[in-house]
Structure 1
């Protein structure tokens, strides 16, 4: 399984600003909007949620058959502390992972120097300079009810 983490600061939390063992390079991988929409449409929530799923067994079957799964993790601030709202993480396997690698990936950019520069500003206490360097992130437009099958 491979994971799409659309939030820059959540990714920095996950990789420790590119300092965790085996995660020293931070890549920004852009994918097509069509690919992301397909993955969301074919996703199952990564955990059982009473009220959303009729029962645990049905959820397990959906999860096993789904080429994508959604989990919602706490968003992070510049100090990588949890915020009260969550960011989507999208896991891909099977057909979705193949499409991601073969069809959806547009450019791949090494953003390790950017991650380290932002971390240096945070470490020096210059949060204004750090914020200026953050990649611009936008809310993803989803049609009404488009995420009902993967909401918490």
Structure 2
């Protein structure tokens, strides 16, 4: 049986918040001007994730090298859905692609990569639900940086507070501080394209 794959995110009528983890040299300047600048690389794919807890698992609660700062990046929903419309999965899901060759050809030309990974609980356990992460290729990164982003917030202090509460066993208090994420519903055609189920 396939796991449920759905987008859970914090969003409003105009924006959706995605998360990235960086070191100080990239993160702090970005929060001041709501844009990225070198040493952020504009020549490689950058991955954005609307699941806060998934990024916590990836960054080990902002303790991995060059992932000590957690950024909440508000981007325009229109561009988020535009990115998804260009997306090709990182594996050949035969419910979406005709065969492996069909997927391989699409993937090699894709400007956006889409991957589904197990969602996590506050304690780090895997859930049956899979969350999306979206890879923005170098062909779109400047547009992402210049046009998609509305604001970049430093969520590092919040992250450290939640992490400290976890260490103290205060999971109820920690849970109350988590970003309020809910299912983000897409048009049917777009859901089918990226494997929402």
TM-score bucket of the superposed structures, by smaller chain: over 0.9
Match of 1:104 in 2: 148
What's 1:143 paired with? 187
Give the structure 2 partner of residue 45 of structure 1.
89
Contact 1:35 / 1:104 at 8 angstroms: preserved in 2? yes
Q: What is the alpha-carbon distance in structure 2 between the residues aligned to residue 136 and residue 32 of structure 1?
A: 18
Per-residue deviation, 1:45: 0.9
Q: Secondary structure of the residue that 2:107 maps to in structure 1?
A: helix
- How many equivalent pairs are there? 152
Whether the 8 Å contact between 1:72 and 1:87 is mirrored in structure 2 is yes
The offset of 1:79, in angstroms, is 1.2
Give the structure-2-normalised TM-score: 0.74
2:118 corresponds to: 74
What's the secondary structure of 1:48's corresponding residue? coil
| Structure 2 spans left out of the alignment, 5+ residues | 1-44
Please say if 1:7 is aligned against 2:7.
Answer: no
The separation in 2 between residues aligned to 1:141 and 1:112, in whole angstroms, is 28
Deviation at 1:150, TM superposition (A): 1.7
Structure 1 residue 82: deviation in Å? 0.9
1:17-28 correspondence runs (5 A): 17-28=61-72
Does residue 59 (structure 1) correspond to residue 98 (structure 2)? The answer is no
How does the TM-score come out when normalised to structure 1? Answer: 0.94
- 1:44, 1:150 within 8 Å by CA — same for their partners in 2? yes
Q: How many angstroms does 1:2 deviate by? A: 0.6
Q: Does 1:122 align with 2:172?
A: no
Distance 2:138 2:68 in 1: 27
Contact 1:31 1:106 in 2 (8 A): yes
Match in the other structure for 2:15: none
- Unaligned segments of structure 1, at least 5 residues: none
